[in-house]
Chain A
């Protein structure tokens, strides 16, 4: 069966420091990978998605970047964090050519606090 791992679970970082969040998927090949962010008390916003190694699409302009160095690895980064980067970050995956009833499967999330 497929599993998705995301770490760390919580992170407190000072403004201006770098960020690296990692997500890996097991038990599947060629997944679509996604990074979502949830601000406190709000819905989820799609930040990035990837359909293959090295292929990154950005949904909103921001202080963050994403990379996919391996098929099942997705990394969210920042060179200098802003206060507004605080939030709950969720990695997700879906089958590349899934059946019509496929859904996104979410990781456990990273709560990022920028102080």
Chain B
């Protein structure tokens, strides 16, 4: 059974600082996803990581995947207030359909 755990669950940081959110998963996952959710809103896809060593960057966010360690990271560079949101990682299992298993989410608050 695939289990996904994120840490930290809550993160409060100052603008301009760097930080990393960690995502560990328990068994082999075909893909690793990162989503963003604003309060009361749906999920916005950020990254899909397909293979070991994959690195993707979009603006101040960079995601990486280490399949041997079963670890993905989401790195935030020089944080700005607009990045405040809850970030979810998810692994997937292909069993008849693509089923995502989500982590608990990391609530990120960036203070001016």
User: A residues engaging B (CB < 8 A)?
Assistant: 32, 34, 42-46, 49-51, 57, 59, 88, 90, 94, 98, 100-109, 111
Contacts and interface: CB of A to CB of B under 8 A. Distances in A.
Determine the main DSSP class of A at the interface with B. Answer: strand
Contact of A104 (B96, B98, B104): B98
B41 A103 contact: no
Interface in B91-112: 96-105
Contacts of A108: 41-42
For chain B, the bracket of interface size reads 20 to 34
B11 interface: no
Interface of B: 31, 33, 40-43, 45, 48, 50, 88, 90, 96-105
A111 B40 CA distance: 8
Given A101-B48, A104-B98, 14 more contacts: A32-B98, A44-B43, A46-B99, A46-B101, A49-B96, A50-B97, A51-B96, A57-B96, A88-B40, A90-B42, A98-B98, A102-B48, A103-B45, A106-B42
Nearest to A90: B42
Contacts of B100: 44, 46, 104
Contacts of B105: 42-43
